[in-house]
Amino acid sequence: MAIPPIGLDLREREHEGVHTLSLGGELDIASVPALNAAVNRLSPDRTQAVRIDLSRLKFMDSTGLAAIVHASKVCEQHEYRFSLVPGSPAVQRLFELTGLIDVLPFESLDAGVQDSAAEQA
């Protein structure tokens, strides 16, 4: 198993067919391979939906944005539902500037807050 890059805290959880990837720290050129590997490891037998939680993410660059788009395309190919929990204003700004805010499916912020609280419990 690969050692996660410094700066990215990737937590995976599966519950009733929903695979949640919770990202914390930095999603950049050094850490994108870890997210891509997690997406590529998803089991078609156990996955109905993929949810990427950006609420703990502090920084994301354009390679991180590309990895999110890649994840959405992988989900589309496998017919998984795909959703994102919004990140900080700085992270969300990238989605706004690129127009992806209107293309990618974002959940309510409350869903991310509830999920983060459950992780810490």
Reported as a single tens digit per residue, the pLDDT across 8-62 is 999 999 999 999 999 999 999 999 999 999 999 998 888 999 999 999 999 999 9
Residues in a beta bridge with 23: 10
Pair 61, 29: CB distance under 8 Å: yes
Q: Does 112 have pLDDT greater than 70?
A: no
Environment class of residue 8 by beta-carbon count within 10 Å: exposed (0-12), middle (13-18) or buried (19+)? buried
Domain 8-120, CATH: 3.30.750.24
The Cα 113–Cα 85 span in angstroms is 9
What pTM, to 2 d.p., does this model score? 0.84
| In the chain, where the domains are located | 8-120
| Residue whose entry in the numeric block shows the structure tokens 């190919």 | 77
Pair 115, 7: CB distance under 8 Å: no
